Amino acid sequence: MSDTLKLGSATAAVGDRATGWLRATGLPTGGEERLPVILFNGGEGPTAWVTATVHGDEVVGLAVAQELAGLDPETVTGRLVVVPTLNPAGLRRRERVSYYDDEDPNRKFPDPFSDRTAPLSTQERVAEQVYEAFTETVRADLLLDLHTAGAGAVPFTIRDRVLYGKTRTEDDARLLAGETAALADAVNLPVVTEYPADQYTDRTLHRSTAGAALNGAGLPALTLELGEADHIRPDHRAAGLAAVCRGLAAADVLRAVPDGVAAADPGVDAPVDYPVRRFEGPRAKAAGVVRHRVEPGDRVESGQPVAAVTSPHGEVIETVTSDRDGYVLAHREGALAYENQPVCSMAVRDEGALVAQREQ
């Protein structure tokens, strides 16, 4: 391993911090789309990647990445790569997607075990270059990808299920799941496991940033959901920064969580003590205006009303109840729901396996 850490136009000698740019794609109006990169070179210790804003309106992660950029290089014992935005096109428009192909950039990372032969879209080419950067150019030992969730969301960690079969043996999958669980414990935000395995690939979540790092490259990787999109709450930024620093310290990339970061952490506790997974719902049967009866972070029991759906005249036409135990992660964006649309997202009781065979 070279003493010099280099990515794109950034080069950091041991003990140094450097900033630069990683080319993403050419622009038809001339010039290039570039991703900002920040490098910390603490020597030949473990290498961590922290990425953010792959969805252009999810800006809390951008703020956390900028805070990481201000770390004292002497506190970094390993090698740290920070990419404040993976989607500058979406960030400029304050929208989830880029404007290259209007595709979700967090579903376009490579699946190295796919038999696909179709040409890559522009967004897929951008994602492929980022994937090659953290799997080859500066090989990561772990990856944390920073996001936000729906309206009023509370911070939490998403842990992907680890797939085996064509990708890896079941024993290797269990080892990787254990490493990822240890990283989630260190991050110390409420842990929400991804959707059940039979939905996971259907939703293309194995091609998200963290999903591709975990199930493609075999790296411990997590998605940190740091509140709601489109604005930066100071308490969510502080909680996210502390969570990232705890993960980096546990991985021996940082000496310790900086005192100021730890002091500013508001702390986030899970309202339930059983394992949970992501769930979109409950869903409205009727179309109308949604009036929520529970808030993000509230514990919910099966049968409990969570929202009312009203007509334009204000009449209640449906009371939406939960058919599961869990807690509310976020409200649905906007005040309206059409038939069969979820009124919120929840963390619900999970009895599924963390390691599952991949459907071929």
Residue 263 has pLDDT above 70, yes or no: yes
**SS3 call for 117:** coil
pLDDT-based confidence at 327, cuts 50/70/90? Answer: very high
**Mean pLDDT, rounded, for 286-296:** 97
- Residues 259-266: what's their mean pLDDT? 98
Q: What is the average pLDDT across 320-331?
A: 97
Find all residues with CB under 8 Å of 111, minimum gap 6, and list them. Answer: 206, 207, 212, 216
In DSSP terms, which residues pair with 80 in a beta bridge? 40, 48
- Quote the CA–CA distance of 299 and 35 in Å, as a whole number: 39
CA 93 to centroid of chain Cα atoms: 20
Give me the pLDDT at residue 116, please. Answer: 82
Backbone CA torsion sign across 153, 243, 186, 140: positive
Report residue 40 as tokens. Answer: 């910390």
103-117, 212-226, 263-277, 327-341: lowest mean pLDDT where? 103-117
Instruction: Categorize the per-residue pLDDT at 117 as very low, low, confident or very high, splitting at 50, 70 and 90.
Output: confident
- Residues 44 and 146 sit within 8 Å (Cβ to Cβ): no
Q: In the chain, list all ranges with CATH 2.40.50.100.
A: 276-349
Contact 49, 255 (CB under 8 A): no
Q: Which two tokens stand for residue 167?
A: 């990708």
Is residue 87 over pLDDT 80? yes
What is the homologous superfamily of the domain 5-264 according to CATH? Zn peptidases (3.40.630.10)
Look at residue 14 and give its three-state secondary structure: coil
Quickly list H helices, 27-154: 60-69, 88-93, 122-132
Mean pLDDT (whole number) for 239-258: 98
* pLDDT of the residue at 261: 98
User: Which of 7-21, 92-106, 176-190, 210-224 is least confident?
Assistant: 92-106
- What is the arithmetic mean of pLDDT over 229-254? 97
Contact 318, 244 (CB under 8 A): no
Residue range 308-333: average pLDDT?
96
pLDDT at 215 over 60: yes
Give span(s): CATH 3.40.630.10, the chain.
5-264
> Which residues sit opposite 10 in a β-bridge?
7
C-alpha triplet 26, 28, 30: angle, nearest 5°: 70
The pLDDT-based confidence of 2 (bands split at 50, 70, 90) is: low
What's the pLDDT tens digit per position in 13-70?
A: 999 999 999 999 999 999 999 999 999 999 989 999 999 999 999 999 999 999 999 9
For tokens 């290039």, name the residue: 32
Write down the pLDDT at residue 106: 97
Question: Any residues with CB less than 8 A from the CB of 192 and at least 6 apart, and which?
Answer: 156, 157, 158, 159, 276, 277, 278, 329, 347
Task: Output the CA–CA distances (angstroms, integers) from residue 148 to 35, 151, 270, in the order listed.
Answer: 20, 9, 17
What class is the 276-349 domain? mainly beta
Between residues 99 and 347, which one has the greater pLDDT? 347
Over pLDDT 70: what percentage of the chain?
Answer: 99
CA gap 27, 342 in Å, rounded: 38
- The average pLDDT across 221-226 equals 98
Q: Which residues pair with 289 in a beta bridge?
A: 310, 336
pLDDT exceeds cutoff 60 at 1: no
The whole-chain average pLDDT of the chain stands at 95
- Model confidence pLDDT, tens digit, residues 28-42: 999 999 999 999 999
Given a cut of 60, is residue 360 above it in pLDDT?
Answer: no
Res 166: pLDDT: 79
CA distance 146 to 63: 10
Q: What percent of the chain has pLDDT over 90?
A: 91
What would the mean pLDDT of 302-319 be, rounded to a whole number? 97
pLDDT digits (tens, 9 = 90+) for 136-191: 999 999 999 999 999 999 999 999 999 999 779 999 999 999 999 999 999 999 99
3-state secondary structure of 283: strand
How far, in Å, CA of 17 to CA of 5, rounded? 10
305-343 burial, b at 16+ Cβ within 10 Å, e below that, comes to ebbbbbeeeeeeebebebebbbbbbbbbeeeebeeeebb
